[in-house]
Amino acid sequence: MVRQSLFFSLLLGGISHSDVLPDIEAHQFKAIPVEKSQTGRVYRFRVDPVQLPKTGNIVLIEEDNKPTMAFRVLKTDIIPGEFIGRRVRRYDTSSELKLNESYQTVEKIADLIAPPPPENEVYDPNAKPLLDPSSSVTTASPSQPDSSGPSAPTADATSKKAMNLNQYDDDLDSGTSPVNLKEKSTVENAQAPDAPPTEIGKDLEVRERSVLNPFNNMLGVSVVALRNYSNFIFGSIGGGGFTAYYSNVVKRNVFFKKEYPQDSLYLEYAFSYYSVINPSGNNDSYTFLPLRTELRYDLHLSETFTPLAYIGAQYNLIMQSQNANATLYNQINGFQLNLGVGLLFNIGPQWYLRADLGLDRLGIGLAVKW
């Protein structure tokens, strides 16, 4: 926490009566803009989760130790360490914040109020309480009844009636009520009923966008029927076995930028295991451990259903062989191309049923995301 006199006074009414700015309690941290609305007035920022600003507070973005933009925090999310802010002031009308670039940020916490001055008066234990001069109750003398009718109001009462207690005061109310609600209500009532809608609703759409696939990692196991196309010789041997794989998101919103549908690009690593007996008719057998790397594209149509497509390369490693045929051995040991399609179907929290259909395999199994 630091104490600074910054530009927040300009946001809450400006300098009206004094050139001396009050001290504020502020919070400094680094913020990275990662997304902005089409109008450029709403941004999504990524910060350290322990440095998240409070919803409703004002944050000031600085560049080269100069103020660039000021935002009001609309929403925070502690799990990814992100917050959404709506721009309330731009100091440089021509510049925009660069995405994925770190900026020095200051959050206003509160105004620091100076303590009251010490009392210098001497305490008098015999002093009597003073009557409230603004009290409307008057005491009439019993021996002299009031025959002149209603008495004229005093100067204090006249001053009190002239005071508008509901009036918004820039100096007194800016610290606790940053918006002049009375003036705002008057302006809104004066607008025509057929006035075009403002951009507030349009800007706020960015925080209503749900992520269909919020997970970055996937691990799964499938029962598969595998085909061996080593050295790109099609129509070779194959067998039944299993495969295990791990995949990680490398890019989101590859082709689709709107709310629906959404897509992701994965890099997948896997191995398989299967055996082939007597492929050449000479009582020979082979045990394979294929190793593969693939690029997988997922199209998220909903939180439940996701079609996918993959392409990659596989090396068919022969772990063991008996009575091996030399010609066949050289054909089935090597690289091959993997190409196919599939789907993911959500069956529970973070659990998915996966099916694959391609040149290299036909399989079905379970996967978990996190």
Top pLDDT among 112 and 257 is at 257
> How many other C-beta atoms are found inside a 10 Å radius of the C-beta of residue 338?
22
Phi then psi dihedrals of residue 25, to 5 deg: -95, 120
Top pLDDT among 166 and 88 is at 88
pLDDT exceeds cutoff 70 at 317: yes
Whole-number pLDDT of residue 143: 45
Whole-number pLDDT of residue 214: 87
Whole-number pLDDT of residue 258: 76
Contacts of residue 25, defined as CB under 8 A and 6 or more positions apart, other chains included, come to 1, 2, 3, 108, 109, 110, 111, 112
Whole-number pLDDT of residue 139: 45
Whole-number pLDDT of residue 102: 92
Whole-number pLDDT of residue 221: 97
Whole-number pLDDT of residue 1: 44
At 307, the amino acid letter reads P
Contact 58, 108 (CB under 8 A): yes
Mean pLDDT value across the chain = 78
Give the integer Cα–Cα distance in Å for 298 and 209. Answer: 19
C-alpha of 288 from chain center: 46
pLDDT exceeds cutoff 60 at 185: no
The highest-level CATH class for domain 2-111 is mainly beta
pLDDT exceeds cutoff 50 at 106: yes
Contact 355, 312 (CB under 8 A): no
Cα Rg of the chain (Å, integer): 37
Give the integer Cα–Cα distance in Å for 305 and 285. Answer: 40
Predicted structure pTM score: 0.47
Domain boundaries, the chain: 2-111, 217-369
Phi then psi dihedrals of residue 62, to 5 deg: -115, 150
Contact 300, 280 (CB under 8 A): no
For the stretch 20-78, pLDDT in tens is 566 777 888 999 999 988 888 899 999 998 889 999 899 999 988 888 899 999 999 88
Which residue is associated with the tokens 């005093």? Answer: 154
With residues binned 3-state (H G I as helix, E B as strand, rest as coil), the percentages for the chain, rounded to 5, are: 15, 45, 45
Q: Residue 71: is it exposed, middle or buried by C-beta count within 10 angstroms (0-12/13-18/19+)?
A: buried
For the stretch 210-259, pLDDT in tens is 788 889 999 999 999 999 988 888 766 889 999 999 999 999 889 988 77
pLDDT exceeds cutoff 70 at 357: yes
> What do you get for the CA distance between the two ends of the chain, in Å?
36
* DSSP 8-state code for residue 183: H
Whole-number pLDDT of residue 313: 95
For the stretch 80-103, pLDDT in tens is 889 999 999 888 776 788 899 999
Whole-number pLDDT of residue 94: 66
CATH topology of domain 217-369: Porin (2.40.160)
